[in-house]
Amino acid sequence: MSNGSLVHRVPTREKVVAFTFDDGPHPVFTRQVLDIFRKVNGKATFFMIGQEMDAFEELAKEVHAAGHEIGNHTYSHPDLTLLTQGEARGEIKQASERIRRVTGRHPSSFRPPYFAVNEDVFSLAAEFGYDVIGCVNGEAKDWEQPQPGVEYILEQTKATVDNGSIFLFHDGYGDRTQTVEAVRVLVAELADQGYRFVTIRELMELAGNSLLN
């Protein structure tokens, strides 16, 4: 449950990392990401937008069926700090309902769009029982359009690799070709180094919910 701060990494002695993907699902790039993790028997967390789940519900079901986690990224991707408390609650609740419809369970993690947070947003996250998830590789900026380049995304992310690191990438909205290629390379390298790829839920369980921010 949220303690009023973003979780960027969790303490663990195990060689595990959590890859997360925002703004999907997308019929091209999400499937490419699924293929990457299938080859290494790894799992990831997809912070999906409710509207995109409405548009591609069968794909969201594929993600869940493959054993990946679906996290809450609101229904329409607004800056929650610019909304009333009621409007923000509605955004989170609608997305949660879409996820429950696909997975049969309440999501356990939440990533606010643009990482825009304040006391009200943290309060809402606690109300829903969410961990509020950040990342360690924000400088990779894979969300920029045009994208900053495969090598740049890799360089900025590799500098943040550690046990329990949470990485942010995007599989929706815009051309994510560079992101997919960077993830393909990074997953292969980390697998060779003995890292396992786990969901946010699994990572939090490994750490016993002892947060390191």
Task: Judge residue 210's burial from the number of C-beta atoms within 10 Å of its C-beta, 0-12 exposed, 13-18 middle, 19 or more buried.
Answer: exposed
d(CA 207, CA 110): 18
d(CA 49, CA 74): 6
Alpha helices of the chain — where are they, by DSSP H? 29-39, 50-55, 57-65, 85-103, 119-128, 150-158, 177-192, 200-206
Task: Judge residue 155's burial from the number of C-beta atoms within 10 Å of its C-beta, 0-12 exposed, 13-18 middle, 19 or more buried.
Answer: middle
* Catalytic choice (77, 131, 170, 171): 170
SS3 99: helix
* Catalytic choice (22, 23, 131, 171): 22
Residue 77 appears among annotated catalytic residues: no
d(CA 127, CA 30): 30
Token couple for 23: 């703004």
Residue 8 appears among annotated catalytic residues: no
DSSP lists the bridge partners of residue 110 as 72, 132
d(CA 191, CA 183): 12
d(CA 199, CA 205): 10
Which residues are catalytic, by number? Answer: 22, 170
